[in-house]
Amino acid sequence: MNFATWLGFALSAILIAVSPGSGAVLSMSHGLSYGVKKASATVMGLQLGLLLVLFIAGAGVGSLLLASELAFNIVKTVGALYLIWLGLSQWRARVDDGAGLDVTRQAALPSTGRRVLTGFLTNATNPKGIIFMVAVLPQFITQGQPVLPQLLILAVTMVAIDMTVMHGYALLASTMQGYFRDARAMRTQNRVFGGLLMAVGTALFFVKRGPA
């Protein structure tokens, strides 16, 4: 893999990372709710899911998923329902009227493992990620050279870019914590981000697989 090929992939990864999606919404939601430091666990989960999708596509399984309408629809439905469930859970999240911000956030804070798992499932069940990887990844694999080292280079590049961007989203959202100091504002926050996650999940039902 030469430098020009790597640079082209890096630019593509930047465009994909900054485009709004379920990962960006989740990062902003957790950044606003728990702060950027604790949202790092969520971002780490997103990267684990991203790596899984990348290596699935690299191994050719992604192509099989796109070739099989049944398999693709199963993945799509699971991903869509998961995001809708996640959004509904945030929409209905309990906020205690008499509690101060720090106490409420501490009580509502999921465990580190739960935050990692939420991030992982969000990316791992996203059919749009599979479509992107299957369609774009082969263009940056140099024929005649070992595939695994190239996949590792692309994986490190994509994770570094996506982790930076997702932390940026979380940091941007965390700067607004001062505006959410009462129960009413926190309910509004939960419903905005919950609604966005449900909207993204619903949109996944309309994602079409590529030509077999």
User: Distance of CA 180 to CAs 55, 61, 66, 164, 175, Å?
Assistant: 40, 44, 43, 25, 11
For residue 146, give both structure tokens: 């070992």
Domain ranges of the chain: 22-204
3-state DSSP helix/strand/coil % of the chain, to nearest 5: 80, 0, 20
18 DSSP 8-state letter:
H
pLDDT score, position 97: 54
pLDDT score, position 164: 96
pLDDT score, position 113: 94
User: Distance of CA 138 to CAs 9, 18, 212, Å?
Assistant: 11, 22, 16
d(CA 176, CA 63): 42
pLDDT score, position 96: 58
pLDDT score, position 70: 80
For residue 131, give both structure tokens: 């479509």
pLDDT score, position 106: 44
| Residue 177 Cα to chain centre, angstroms | 22
pLDDT score, position 40: 96
Q: What number of other Cβ atoms are within 10 A of residue 210's Cβ?
A: 12
Q: What number of other Cβ atoms are within 10 A of residue 43's Cβ?
A: 25
Report pLDDT digits (tens) over 10-30: 988 888 788 778 888 899 989
Low pLDDT (below 70) residues in the chain: 61-67, 95-108, 135, 178-183, 185-186, 207, 209-212
pLDDT score, position 183: 65
